[in-house]
Amino acid sequence: MKRQELEIQKKAMVERYYNSGMTVNSWCTENNIKPSSLRYWLTKVNQLDDAGEHAGTDFIEFSPLTHDAVPVAVYVGSFRLELHSGFDAQTFRDAVHILQTL
């Protein structure tokens, strides 16, 4: 298989993963793929993307509702999220899900 064909195949795999809404481990179990392989291709596809963006990336803006409250820090891997009083729970769930895929 040519390198370009392999990259196309792996990009399609990454898109199927992103579209599934599943965690890395769940998707890999269902698709008989090692999680380390999927994580490698998630990184590789991001590097191959000339624009630095792909369809599976979502950006979520977090803004504090008050500046007086002390935030709670939540770590997801090497990422830190600060939760302020009145944070939106669905936005938090979405952010954690996205960060778990990186």
Q: Are residues 72 and 100 in the same domain?
A: yes
Question: What end-to-end distance do the CA atoms of the chain give, in Å?
Answer: 27
Domain that holds residue 29: 3-48
> Does some domain include residue 53?
no
- Averaged over successive runs of 10 residues, the pLDDT of the chain (102 residues) comes to 78 84 88 88 70 51 59 78 79 81 76
Helix (H/G/I), strand (E/B), else coil: 18? helix
> Does some domain include residue 97?
yes
Is the separation of the CB atoms in 22 and 35 below 8 Å?
no
pLDDT, one tens digit per residue, over 61-71 is: 666 555 566 67
Task: Take residue 63 and report the two structure tokens written for it.
Answer: 């803004």
**pTM beyond 0.75:** no
Q: Are residues 66 and 101 in the same domain?
A: yes
Q: Are residues 10 and 36 in the same domain?
A: yes
Please report, as a single letter, which amino acid is at residue 17: Y
Q: Are residues 43 and 63 in the same domain?
A: no
* The dihedral formed by the CA atoms of 100, 43, 19 and 90, expressed in degrees to the nearest 10: 30
Q: How far apart are CA 81 and CA 95, in angstroms?
A: 9
